[in-house]
Amino acid sequence: MEINLKVLEGQDNSPLLPVSDNPNSNPYVQRTMKARYIFEVRIVHLLILIVTFWAVLCLPSFFTSMSLVPQTPSFQFDSLFLSNFNISNKTIGANLDMTLQIENPNSVTKIHFNIINGSISYKDNSLAMYSIKPFELGYREHRLVHLKISKYQTMEKNGWVLDEINKQRDENGAVSFSLTMFVSATYTTGWWGIKKFVSNPQCLDLRVAFLPKAGFGNWVNGGPMKCSLPIF
């Protein structure tokens, strides 16, 4: 038996391509994925540029601060109040209330204060002494130190000091005192290791005004005072 197959006129008899379920074969999907990839690459490049920019700005300052010798701490005198101030029979007595502010100005160095001893004096004659317990200041940290001192002292050999203080208080209503300290501290930093530091902070000419016929006096220099810092 003979079978004749006829192809209809105009009918395409080319083989059909298989239909794929892979979305990547879709031209639209391919263009979308390519655009997304380019966008992500640009974001990564932008982040790298930002990090590099900040590194260029910050690294010189960092290495400069690391290479410099640590800065000395600063001492600031904030207030002084005297109560029950009395001079009689070569004896001086008073209650002192004062505040100091101690600051570490370093960004890469800690300071441990091992010894802080000080005195309140009149013309190099000590009237009261004090000490501050050891403590540490971190990077760019400061601490407010509040001291209360009760002092009664007999000055047989230097009786003229008490006479002069009484005379100034009666005539001028004010007396100038001085505060001096002995400080032994240690710098600690990853770059310098450990370095010792000794200094003698001084706050001079602390003018204290007294109430008439009363044992109360207050520092009247007008605001905080930066202490000078001679270094041994």
Domain boundaries defined on the chain: 23-67, 74-226
Q: What are 74-112's pLDDT values in tens digits? A: 999 999 999 999 988 889 999 999 999 999 999 889 999
Overall pTM surpassing 0.95 (yes/no): no
* Cα dihedral sign, 121-148-197-202: negative
Q: What are 16-53's pLDDT values in tens digits? A: 445 445 555 556 555 666 667 676 777 777 788 787 77
pLDDT over 70 (residue 10): no
Predicted confidence at residue 52, as pLDDT, reads: 77
Predicted confidence at residue 130, as pLDDT, reads: 93
The average pLDDT across 108-127 equals 93
Q: Using 50, 70 and 90 to split pLDDT, how confident is the model at 2? A: very low
Q: Using 50, 70 and 90 to split pLDDT, how confident is the model at 138? A: very high
- Give the gyration radius of the chain's Cα atoms: 40
Predicted confidence at residue 8, as pLDDT, reads: 46
Q: Distance between CA atoms of 71 and 16, rounded to whole angstroms?
A: 84
Q: Distance between CA atoms of 158 and 132, rounded to whole angstroms?
A: 27
Predicted confidence at residue 177, as pLDDT, reads: 95
Cβ atoms of 75 and 181 within 8 Å: the answer is: yes
Cβ atoms of 129 and 153 within 8 Å: the answer is: no
The average pLDDT across 10-15 equals 51
Q: Using 50, 70 and 90 to split pLDDT, how confident is the model at 113? A: very high
Question: Which DSSP string do the residues of 20-76 spell out, in sequence order?
Answer: P--GGGSHHHHHHHHHHHHHHHHHHHHHHHHHHHHHHHHHHHHHHHHHSPPPPPEEE
Q: Using 50, 70 and 90 to split pLDDT, how confident is the model at 3? A: very low
